[in-house]
Amino acid sequence: MTATDAVNSTCGTLYVVATPIGNLEDISARALRVLSEVALIAAEDTRHSSRLIQHFGISTPLAACHEHNERDEGGRFIQRLLAGDSVALISDAGTPLISDPGYHLVKQARAAGVPVVPVPGPCALVAALCAAGLPSDRFIFEGFLPSKQAGRRSRLELLREEPRTLIFYEAPHRILDSLKDMETVFGGDRAAVLGRELTKTFETLKGAPLEALRAWVEADTNQQRGECVVVVAGWQAPQGEEAVDENARRILRLLLAELPVKRAAAVAAEITGARKNLLYQLALQERP
Ligand code: SAM
């Protein structure tokens, strides 16, 4: 336990409670108990969340904790917690802090020695990943891409050779533009899955190479509505002849003009670090 992990035993607990991303049956029994037992619910949007808690017959008071007041007003919640009241943090949907407010409050609570307890549950990225059929042993969550094309493309460029499965959140009005940029940067052959309206009536999980997925979304405006997650297969190192990059091929061609095939392949391998037998195979095809 570090100094900041030291827990103040007289204070309340900050519960970080996941709520449904669509289907209300996904709320856990524990979440319902915690929401009804705490003194206060810190909610991203109190009007939105009051409908949720009313649905479950919970009458705990709500107070706003959103991205505009979280940093400054977090102190108010910390005072209540230090005074012995327990507080539940919720967001509009899913798990707080995951592309949602809550980070500053959790950080402040831990710094103040307030116990922070997760009450896990729905989360769109996990829902999409667990049904996508793409490798799930290692993945990265990128949240929302930048809204302007230049920023989006440069973020995607940084991820072009990322070998882990990639997960993105996207707004419906930008899904087509994002898929177009993914197709351009990652290539149309890269496998991807669009998870739309997960856990809701029109839930869709469409898997296809990026080119086909983009074309499918482009052709059907219904696919450009609702909430969506894009899961993209990670980059795979090229196999066989494709493993020799363009620079190595250029050097090989120059050497082939001067040297026998075997010697050209050996020297090109020395210069570029590419595998000698792959260069030799290429040299046989390319010799003048
Ligand atoms: N905290 C939430 C979570 O745990 O997933 C995410 C909140 S973020 C503001 C909202 C984004 O999550 C949406 O734009 C969409 O990308 C994704 N999302 C939320 N609910 C979804 C659903 N039912 N189906 C697909 N994507 C969803």
Give, for ligand 1, the residue of 168, 228, 231 to mutate: max count of ligand atoms closer than 8 Å to Cβ: 228
Higher pLDDT, residue 26 or 9: 26
Token pair for residue 127? 């829902």
**C-alpha 146 – ligand 1 centre gap (Å):** 16
Dihedral through CA 256, CA 259, CA 260, CA 266, nearest 10?
A: -80
> How many domains does the structure of the chain reveal?
3
What is the structure's pLDDT at 2?
47
Range from 8-17, 83-92, 151-160 carrying the lowest mean pLDDT: 8-17
Q: What is the pLDDT of residues 250-264, one digit of tens each?
A: 999 999 999 999 999
Q: Are residues 114 and 129 in the same domain?
A: no
What pLDDT does 68 receive? 79
pLDDT tens across 67-78, in order? 878 777 778 999
Q: Decide the pairing of beta strands 228-232 and 191-196.
A: antiparallel
113 and 60, same structural domain?
Answer: yes
Distance 94 CA to ligand 1 centre (A): 7
Please give the distance of CA 179 from its chain centroid, rounded to a whole number.
15
Q: For the residues 170-198, what does the mean pLDDT come to?
A: 97
Instruction: Clarify whether residues 28 and 93 are in a common domain.
Output: yes
For residue 41, the cross-strand partners are 62, 88
Per the structure, the complete domain to which residue 131 belongs is given by: 125-232
Indicate whether 14 and 73 sit together in one domain. yes
Q: What tokens appear for 198 in the block? A: 């997960």
Ligand 1, atom nearest to 200 Cα: 23
In this structure, the answer to whether residues 217 and 244 fall within a common structural domain is: no
pLDDT in tens, 115-126: 999 999 999 999
Q: How confident is the model at residue 286 (pLDDT cuts 50, 70, 90)?
A: confident
* Residue 165 in contact with ligand 1 by CB distance below 6 A: no
Ligand 1 contacts CB of residue 21 (under 6 A): yes
| Higher local confidence (pLDDT), 69 or 220 | 220
| Residue 179 sits in the same domain as residue 195 | yes
Q: What is the pLDDT of residue 6?
A: 58
Tokens in use for 274?
Answer: 């590419």
211 CA distance to ligand 1 middle (Å): 24
Residues in the chain: 288
Closest of 108, 87, 74 to residue 38, by C-alpha: 87
